[in-house]
Amino acid sequence: MDDRMELYLAVAARSFRRATTYRSAYLAGIITNAFFGALVCFVYQALYAGGGRVAGLSLNDAISYAWTTQSLISIGGAWIVSAGISQSIRSGDVITDLSRPWSFYLYWLSRSFGERAFNLLVRGALTYLVGVLYFGARLPAPADLLAFLPAIILAMQVSFAFSFMVNLTAFWLLDSTGVTLLSNVMLTFLSGFILPVAFFPPALQALVHALPFESITGLPTQIFLGQLAPAQIARALATQAAWAAALTALGLAMQAAAMRKVVVQGG
């Protein structure tokens, strides 16, 4: 742990407060997320016309799942959000940030956590409320909500570490549009954002379980909706923690490499 905890808390608090000021942005965001949530629900209602369960999920399970994942978009559950780092790399501000007496990684992590905490509590919660009111999305049980708290924090760490690495490719690539595009595809599809992983064919499910993206969206969503037994929850949290640690280590290694590149070539 860094001994400048206070600094990072202040950075996170500022970023939280800044997020509150973009009101037309989050209002538009809620409308967008709710619109797509509704569209998905209409399709599920038609698909489930015969009733029953498919791949273990009922219509209400599928609908609740759709609204949860829509609510997680603004914290990075569907694609990479908040391109602040890559902007600062392109503008050259990154050089100053790298040379400041703080951990560059923790600085951006706190910024991202501050903003995403707001997004989760306001954008996410309001989006989910629309699902509850109009489509009968399920309210989580208190115990599941309790397990969801560490799950979502770990999810944000995995998501941040992944986007941090994608953003840092800008140090080596002239144009990182391609990498971002590809990363977004993986995130959208392999995280369980677009569909519950249970719907995937077995081979694809195995692939998803072997990759970190499920820790960002699929696992916290299943915990939130009470779709996992206590033992499964424990395993899910352990998986998330392992990925968070692994990707953070990778991200820090990439940062060190970027730092060397800056020192040697002056950016």
Partner 1 sequence: MALIEVENLQKSFSRPVRRAGRLGALRGLLAREYVTMEAVAGVSFTLEAGAMAGYLGPNGAGKSTTMKMLTGILVPSGGRIEVGGLVPHRQRVAHVRRIGVVFGQRTQLWWDLPTIESFELLRHVYKIPMARYRENLKAFSELLELGPFLDTPVRQLSLGQRMRADLAAALLHDPAILFLDEPTIGLDVVARERIRGFLSEINRERGVTVILTTHDLSDVERLCQRVVLIDHGRVIYDGGLDQLKTRHGRWRTLVVDLADASCAPLVEMADLVRQEGPRAWLRFDRERTSAAALIAEVAARYPVRDLTVEEPEIEAIVRGIYERGVGVI
Partner 2 sequence: MIQLYLTLIGARVRSQMQYRVSFWLELLGFLLVTGLEFATIAILLGRFGSVGGWGLAEVALLYGLTSFAFSLAEMVGRGFDSPFERMMVMGAFDGVLARPLGAFFQVLTADFQLRRLGRTAQAALVLAYAFSQIPIVWTPDRLLLLPVTVLSGFLIYLALIVIGATFCFWTTTTPEVINVFTFGGEQMASYPLSIYQEWLRAVFLFLIPVGFSNYPAALYLLGRADPHGLPAWSAWLAPLAAAVFFGAALRFWRFGVSTYASTGS
**20 is a site residue for partner 1 (CB under 8 A):** yes
Distance between CA atoms of residues 24 and 32, nearest Å:
12
**23 is a site residue for partner 1 (CB under 8 A):** yes
Contacts of 170 by beta carbon, 8 Å cutoff, 6+ apart: 86, 89, 90, 176
E strand or H helix at 21? helix 5-21
Contacts of 93 by beta carbon, 8 Å cutoff, 6+ apart: none
Nearer to partner 2, 181 or 238 (CB): 181
Distance between CA atoms of residues 231 and 4, nearest Å:
36
Residue 57 β-bridge partners? 54
Question: What minimum distance in Å lies between the beta carbon of 253 and partner 1?
Answer: 34
Contact partner at residue 8 from partner 2, partner 1, none, CB < 5 to 8 Å by partner kind: none
Distance between CA atoms of residues 51 and 54, nearest Å:
9
For partner 1 (CB under 8 A), the number of binding residues is 5
**21 is a site residue for partner 1 (CB under 8 A):** yes
Question: What minimum distance in Å lies between the beta carbon of 55 and partner 1?
Answer: 39
Nearer to partner 2, 198 or 250 (CB): 198
Interface positions with partner 2 (CB under 8 A): 24-25, 28-29, 31-32, 35-36, 39, 42-43, 45-49, 54-55, 175, 177-178, 181-182, 184-185, 188-189, 194-195, 199-201, 204
* Residue 116, both tokens: 């995403």
CA dihedral 123, 62, 215, 152 (to 10 degrees): 40
Question: Which candidate, 86, 89, 109, places its Cα nearest to that of 177?
Answer: 86
Q: Which of 9, 10, 17, 31 binds partner 1 (CB under 8 A)?
A: 17
Distance between CA atoms of residues 23 and 113, nearest Å:
18
Nearer to partner 1, 27 or 263 (CB): 27
Nearer to partner 1, 21 or 177 (CB): 21
Select from 20-28, 40-48, 92-100, 137-145 the region that touches partner 1 (CB under 8 A).
20-28
Nearer to partner 2, 46 or 231 (CB): 46
Catalog residues that contact partner 1 under the rule CB under 8 A. Answer: 17, 20-21, 23, 27
